Structure 1
Amino acid sequence: MEYFDIHTHSRRSDGSVQILNVLPGATGSTVGAWSSIGLHPWYLTAENKDAQLEAVERHAGTGAVKLIGECGFDRLRGPAMAVQHSAFRQQAELAVACAKPLIIHCVRAFDELLPYGRKYASQVPMIIHGFHKSPELARQLQRHGFLLSFGAAIMQEGSNAAVALQQTGPPFFLETDDNPTSIQRIYERAAFLRNITVDELKAIIFAGWKTLQLI
């Protein structure tokens, strides 16, 4: 069974199945097979929101695009929160219309995100990528219907991400994001943390991807 990487910023020649994050309108960004596309709060402004959304809408219904996003909220780097809310609502509605999961970026703004779980999680899967906060927040997010994806932060002994992964029931997902750590090493670490074999973990991740209808 293959390794599945639900969120990466660069194609890797490691034989894994990868979903490449694409930024609409960015130089050199092209939508190919197994992509996600969305309005990332870092590159979002009130002035470019409509143009970016049009670019996302052009690709969202194609077979190449598997996820909408990454999109979400960021209090450290992003436009006014009203702009972020507007962009997120529009992408959530698009994800529902296209029946494709959302992949979510959230930095110091989980209070802004949580209400959307109550509204949309029953209609479309909503995956928070690169989760590395407390196990308590992980449980709160799951109660609101969100799913979690873990990346290289689990490699650090005793990190919030590592502890949260140990306590999170499936489905959950693994990713490389923009970190050089290979998806194979992330799988090995995740299997160790959960006290299962890599093959057993592969089966859990594969089942999660099937639940999302990605494969």
Structure 2
Amino acid sequence: MSLIDTHCHLDAAEFDADRDEVVAAAKLGAGGTAVEVMVVPAVERANFGAVASVCRTYPGCAPSFGIHPMYVDRVRPEDLDALRETLQHQPAVAVGEIGLDRHVQPRDDGQQMFWFRSQLELARELGLPVLLHVRRAIDPILKALREIPVPGGIAHAFNGSREQAEQFIKLGFKLGFGGAMTYPGSKRIRALAATLPLEAIVLETDAPDIPPAWKPNGRNTPADLVPIAETLAQLRGMPLMEIAARTRANTLAVLPRLVNFIPHGEMP
């Protein structure tokens, strides 16, 4: 069985010392389940090259390029042109990581919204889905998506309400569940993971961030996606094999270019 990690910052400095081993551990997996494909999103122009390099180096790693809301303070107007050029010349599966963050301080909400909407326009122009950062900003993000429709995408690290989840689903989005779901105290997230339509759910690690319950102060890695998937299987009372197959199919449906990154010999 193979899984897809829909959000993994494999280019991050936290992996510089042992990136080869981290990727090998994910592909080895555990109990007959492995992570065969990883989506690696960029967060600013400065790491477009690093993301592209990582994805060229490791088979099964797929790039996404965007400007993260927490990096808008260093964005220059020409960065949007650079993003367009990168998306046109690199085998990107999505525009991302983009969105809004109403938690980080200090912040400039106006700048965040300007760059978010600009990137939604670019995604619409290029016909690409988006990977959304939605921390404490789900309602303004949904409003922008209604005004600038794009070809779906993933609401990464979703932690909103049932109503908000249903609105994302109606707009053609999947919802990303990862390490936060593994904590018994995360009752709302676990309830959503257990009861939302399974076709709306994809899996992620956000490695090296959002560590799961078994690593509360440690480094998250893509190999942790296997026990994360086991958590979802337990919450839904389903076999891990079915969870793996269904979430994999969901990911390929919302990120259709990802099929080009499935390692040779793997069936989509």
TM-score range, shorter chain: 0.7 to 0.9
Quote the Cα distance in structure 2 between the aligned partners of 1:36 and 1:8. 11
Q: What residue is the counterpart of 1:172 in the other structure?
A: 201
Deviates most, 47-56 or 59-68: 47-56
In structure 2, stretches of 5+ residues that fail to align are 11-18, 28-34, 56-61, 212-219, 260-268
Any conservation in 2 of the 1:103–1:127 contact (CA below 8 Å)? yes
Any conservation in 2 of the 1:6–1:173 contact (CA below 8 Å)? yes
Scaled by the length of structure 1, what TM-score is found?
Answer: 0.88
- Structural mapping, 1:128-143, within 5 Å: 128-143=155-170
Change (3 A) 1:140 1:100: closer
Is 1:55 matched with 2:82? yes
Deviates most, 160-169 or 128-137: 128-137
Change (3 A) 1:79 1:152: same
Quote the Cα distance in structure 2 between the aligned partners of 1:140 and 1:96. 19
Quote the Cα distance in structure 1 between the aligned partners of 2:49 and 2:93. 20
Q: What residue is the counterpart of 1:124 in the other structure?
A: 151
Any conservation in 2 of the 1:75–1:107 contact (CA below 8 Å)? yes
Q: What residue is the counterpart of 2:180 in the other structure?
A: 153
Deviations 1:172-195 (A, max 9, x none): 211000231611111111111111
- Structural mapping, 1:38-117, within 5 Å: 38-45=66-73, 48-77=75-104, 79-117=107-145
Change (3 A) 1:183 1:101: same
Quote the Cα distance in structure 1 between the aligned partners of 2:227 and 2:160. 21
Which amino acid is 2:39 matched to?
I
Give the SS at the match of 2:151: coil
Quote the Cα distance in structure 2 between the aligned partners of 1:147 and 1:117. 14
Deviations 1:76-113 (A, max 9, x none): 22642222122111111221222221001112222211
Q: What residue is the counterpart of 2:244 in the other structure?
A: 202
Is 1:20 matched with 2:49? no
Any conservation in 2 of the 1:132–1:161 contact (CA below 8 Å)? yes
Is 1:31 matched with 2:45? no
Larger strand proportion, structure 1 or 2? 1
Which amino acid is 1:175 matched to?
E
Change (3 A) 1:168 1:68: same
Change (3 A) 1:85 1:29: same
Quote the Cα distance in structure 1 between the aligned partners of 2:107 and 2:185. 34
In structure 1, stretches of 5+ residues that fail to align are none
Deviates most, 189-198 or 23-32: 23-32
Quote the Cα distance in structure 1 between the aligned partners of 2:68 and 2:111. 12
Report the alpha carbon displacement of residue 151 of structure 1 after superposing the two structures with TM: 1.0
Report the alpha carbon displacement of residue 165 of structure 1 after superposing the two structures with TM: 1.0
Any conservation in 2 of the 1:135–1:163 contact (CA below 8 Å)? no
Higher relative contact order (CA 8 A, sep 6+): 2
Q: What residue is the counterpart of 2:217 in the other structure?
A: none
Scaled by the length of structure 2, what TM-score is found?
Answer: 0.72
Quote the Cα distance in structure 2 between the aligned partners of 1:22 and 1:29. 8
Any conservation in 1 of the 2:48–2:65 contact (CA below 8 Å)? no
